[in-house]
Chains A and B, each alone.
Chain A
Amino acid sequence: MNSRLHSALRVLPQYLGDHVLLSAAALALGIAISVPLLIAARRSAHVRWPVLAAASLIQTVPGIALLALFYPLLLGLSALTHRLVGWRLPALGFLPSLLALTLYSILPILRNGITAILNLDPAILQAARGVGMTSRQRLLRVELPLAAPMLMAGVRTSAVWVIGTATLATPVGQTSLGNYIFTGLQMQDWAWVLFGCGAAVALALATDQLLWLIELGLARRRPALAWLGLAVLLAGVGAAAVPLHAAQRGGYVVGAKTFSEQYILASLIARRIRATGHPVTERTGLGSSLAFEALAANELDVYVDYSGTLWHDVLHRNSRPSRHRMLRELRTSLRRRYGVELLGALGYENAYVLAMRRGEADALGIHTIAQLARAAPRLTLGADLEFFARPVWKALERRYGLHFRALRQYESTFMYHALMSREVDVIAAFSSDGRIAADHLMVLQDPLHVIPPYDAVLLLSPHRAHDPVLRRALEPLIGAIPIALMRRANYMVDRPRHKRSPRQAAEWLAHAAHLR
C-alpha cells in the first residue's frame, strides 16, 4: 500500500501539471469564445437563440464521446495540413482534449452572462444612454461590470465541469489525473482510482474557491480581492507549466492500450529504450483503434498490437489464414499501406477465448464451443466493451449457431467478477490473462478454428521503421516471451492482493525472460 501511494505521488507532478494546463487552457479559450458571443448576443434574439441552443446541444453529448469525436476530425485535418504544408497537425493528446473541453466550458459562461445582461435594470441602461455613453462605453462601463459577478459564477461552474471532464482526456492520449483513474480501473487498484478522484476534486475545489474570491471582489467592488484570486490562480498555472519544461519531452513515444498487459509491455519497451540512453515518453490508456492510427500518424513510435486485431480491424480481412501466413501478410500489407513496420512477434498469443467456471462446464459437459452452442439459450455471455462489435464474434455466432439468453458488456476487469459471482455463465476472455489459471477457468476448444490467431506483435511507426536504436533495443524481445510468463506478469498486476505495479511486473518479466 505504502509503495503504491509512493508510486502514485511520484507521477503526481506530471499528471496534475498536465491536468491544470489542459483545464486552464480550455477555460481561457472558453472565456475568450464566450464573451464575444455574449456581446453579439446581448441585443439580438436572432443571435441569442441559436448560440444558446448550440451550446446546450454540445452539453448533452457525453464527455468521452465528444473527446472521441474530435480525434477522427483532427486526423482528417492532420492529413490535410500534411498535404498542404507538409506539417502534421497533432491529432492525439492535447489538441482534441482542448477542443472538446473548450466546447464544454462555453455553455455555463454564456448562459449566466446572457441572463445577467438581460436582467440589468432598464433604468440604469437608459441612464447610461442619457448621460451620453456610446454603445461601446455602455458595454464596457456599465453592462459588463454589472454582469461580471454573475458571469464569474458561470466561469466557476464551467471550471468545475472542465476539471472534472478533463479526467476523460486520458483515452485520447492526453495525460491527466484521469490516468490514475483509468490505470487504477484496469489494475483493480482502487487506491489509485480514489487518489485520482481525490486529486481532481481537490483541484476543482481549490480553483472554485479562487474564482469565488474573484467573484466576491467583483460583486463587492473590492478589486484587491479579485486581483488576489487571479494572482494565485495564475501562479498555480505557472507552477504547473514548470515540470513541463523540466521534464523535457520528446525522445521515443511508447503507446499502450487500456489493459494491464499493454501497460506492462509498454513499461518493458520503455525500459529497454531508456537503457540505450534515450529519453522515452509513455502514452498509456489509448483506445484500441486509436493506437494504430496514432502510430501510422507518427504520434507513437512503438506499441504492441495483436495480429488478429490488425487483420480484421485495420486490413478489414475476413479470411482466417494460419499464424505464420497472417504475420507474413500483415508485415507486407502494413508496410505497403501505412508504412508501419511489423518488427516481429513476441512469442505468445492474446486471443479471444470463451471460458466458463470449471465446475459448471464439467456439470454441463461443455468442453468445446460446439457443445456450448446447445446449452447457450439458457446461458448468459459476458464480454468486454469491444467484443460484440468485432468480426470474431460475428463469425463465432454464425459458424457455431450461438444464441445466448442474454449478452452483457463489462469493463474487462469486471467481467471476471461477473463470471465468478455467477452474473454471467460464459465470458469472452483473453488467452494471456493470468486470471484464467488463477480462477481455474475452463477454456473452450474451437474445433472449427473460427477464432483467428492473435500474436502479440511489435509495431514501429513509419518514421521509426528503420531506426537503429529502436531496432537494437527491441529485436531481443522477438520470440522471447512465452505465454506462461506473460500470464504470470499479467496476474501480478491484476490479482486482488499483493498487487505489483506494471513497472514492477515489467522488471520481473525482463528477468524471467532473460532479457538483459
Chain B
Amino acid sequence: MIALQGVSKSFDRGATYAVRDITLEVPAESFLALVGDSGSGKTTLLKTINRLIEPEAGEVFIDGEPAHATPAHGLRRRIGYVFQGIGLFPHMSIAENIGITPRLIGWPQEAIRARVEELIDLVSLPRAYLTRRPAELSGGQRQRVGIARALAARPSILLMDEPFGALDPVTREALGSECRRLHERMRLTTVMVTHDILEAVLLADRIVVMRHGRIVADGEPHALLCGHDDPAVRTLMDMPRRQAARVRALLEERGA
C-alpha cells in the first residue's frame, strides 16, 4: 500500500509547485494510472514515491512506514521502477541488467541466475538474449528487459513512468497487456504514469487526472468515462469514447 499525505514539491523555491499538497492512497494490489498533460506533475509525484525526488512538505508511506525512515537506496530496492528512457546499463549484459537489484541486495549467485531466467521467460524473451548487450536489442525488447529488471527483487510495488512511450503501437499494446498480466500474477501494487488516456482506461483499475500539480479527477475508468464535473476532464475522457465509437461505426459500416 502506498499513501501520500499533503505531498508538495517545488523546483524553484516555492515560486511554482510541480506537485501541490497531494493526498492519495493506493490500496495494495491495485493498478493506478496517473494521467495529465505534460507539466501536470504526474512524473514528479511518481518519483516522490521511491524518493527519486524528495518532497518539500508532506509525507509518503509505504506499507504504513514513512518512506524517509529507511535509506533511499534501500527503499528503491524494494520498489520496482520502469523508466521512460528505459535506462539499461550499456556495459552490462541483459542478464546482469535484470539481476542488478538482487545483486545489490546480496542474493546468492544461484538464486540470481534462476530469477533472471524466470523473468526473461515472464517477459517473453528468448533465453539466448541473456548474454547480449542492450545495444543488440530492439526498443520493445529493451523495455521488456526494463520491466524484468524492475521486478527482479520481487518488489510488491511497481512504478512505471511512461513505460511504452517510445514504442510502436503494436508493441505498445502487447507490452501493456503483459504488464497487466504480470500485475495480476504477482499481485503487485502498480502506479503507471501515462499521457495516453486510452492506455490508462484499458489497463488501470483507477485513474487519477492531474493538472498544475493538483488532482482534478480520481475514479474508476468506467465512472470517469460516464462523465465528470470538470469540463477539461470530460474532454479528456471523451477521447477514448469517441475513438471507440468511431471504430465501432467503422466495423458496422463494413459489416452491413
Contact = CB atoms under 8 A, between A and B. Distances in A.
Interface stretch (A48-56, A121-129, A238-246): A121-129
Given A127-B83, A131-B149, 20 more contacts: A123-B83, A123-B85, A123-B86, A124-B89, A126-B52, A126-B85, A127-B89, A129-B72, A129-B73, A129-B76, A130-B52, A131-B77, A131-B81, A132-B74, A132-B77, A133-B73, A134-B73, A137-B73, A142-B89, A146-B91
A146 B135 CA distance: 14
A145 interface: yes
26 contacts: A123-B83, A123-B84, A124-B89, A126-B85, A127-B83, A127-B87, A127-B88, A127-B89, A128-B89, A129-B72, A129-B73, A130-B50, A130-B52, A131-B101, A132-B74, A132-B75, A132-B78, A132-B101, A132-B104, A132-B105, A134-B73, A137-B73, A142-B89, A142-B91, A146-B90, A221-B91
A384 B81 CA distance: 73
B133 interface: yes
B171 to A, nearest CB: 19
Contacts of A121: 85, 87
Interface of A: 121-124, 126-134, 137, 141-142, 145-146, 221
Contacts of B81: 130-131
Contacts of A127: 83, 85-89
Interface of B: 50, 52, 71-78, 81, 83-91, 100-101, 104-105, 133, 149, 153
Contact of B87 (A130, A132, A141, A146): A130
A251 B28 CA distance: 83
Contact of B133 (A132, A145, A221): A221
A132 B73 contact: yes
Nearest to A128: B89
| For the complex of A and B, 9 pairs with smallest distance between CB atoms | A127-B87, A123-B85, A132-B77, A132-B76, A130-B81, A123-B87, A134-B73, A132-B73, A145-B91
Contacts of B86: 123, 127
Pick the most buried of A127, A129, A130: most chain B CB atoms within 10 A of its CB. A130
Contacts of B84: 123
Nearest to A145: B91
Contacts of B78: 132
Contacts of A122: 85
Contacts of A137: 73, 104
A131 B74 CA distance: 10
A199 to B, nearest CB: 38
Contacts of A131: 76-77, 81, 100-101, 104, 149
A145 B90 CA distance: 10
A133 B104 contact: yes
Contacts of B85: 121-123, 126-127
A134 B77 CA distance: 10
A482 to B, nearest CB: 74
A129 B77 CA distance: 10
Query: Would you call the interface of chain A mostly helix, strand, loop, or mixed?
Result: helix
A132 B78 CA distance: 8
Contacts of A132: 73-78, 101, 104-105, 153
Given A131-B101, A134-B73, A126 B83 contact: yes
Contacts of A133: 73, 104
Nearest to A125: B87
Contacts of B75: 132
Pick the most buried of A127, A129, A132, A133: most chain B CB atoms within 10 A of its CB. A132
A134 B76 CA distance: 10
A138 to B, nearest CB: 9
Contacts of B90: 124, 146
Contacts of A129: 52, 72-73, 76
A220 to B, nearest CB: 10
Nearest to A127: B87
Contacts of B50: 130
A126 B50 CA distance: 12
Contacts of B76: 129-132
Nearest to B87: A127
B228 to A, nearest CB: 33
Contacts of B89: 124, 127-128, 141-142
A178 to B, nearest CB: 41
Nearest to A124: B87
B76 to A, nearest CB: 4
A128 B87 CA distance: 8
A454 B92 CA distance: 72
Contacts of B100: 131
A137 B84 CA distance: 22
A443 to B, nearest CB: 73
Contact of B83 (A130, A141, A142, A221): A130
Contacts of B88: 124, 127
A121 B90 CA distance: 10
Contacts of B133: 221
A271 B77 CA distance: 74
Nearest to B96: A141
B43 to A, nearest CB: 11
A82 B76 CA distance: 57
A126 B75 CA distance: 15
Contacts of B87: 121, 123-124, 126-128, 130
Pick the most buried of B87, B88, B105: most chain A CB atoms within 10 A of its CB. B87
A210 B122 CA distance: 44
A123 B50 CA distance: 16
A133 B100 CA distance: 9
Contacts of A130: 50, 52, 76, 81, 83, 87
A133 B50 CA distance: 13
A133 B52 CA distance: 12
Contacts of A124: 87-90
A133 B149 CA distance: 13
Contacts of A123: 83-87
A435 B72 CA distance: 80
Nearest to B146: A127
Contacts of B52: 126, 129-130
B88 to A, nearest CB: 7
Pick the most buried of B76, B133, B153: most chain A CB atoms within 10 A of its CB. B76
Contacts of B91: 142, 145-146, 221
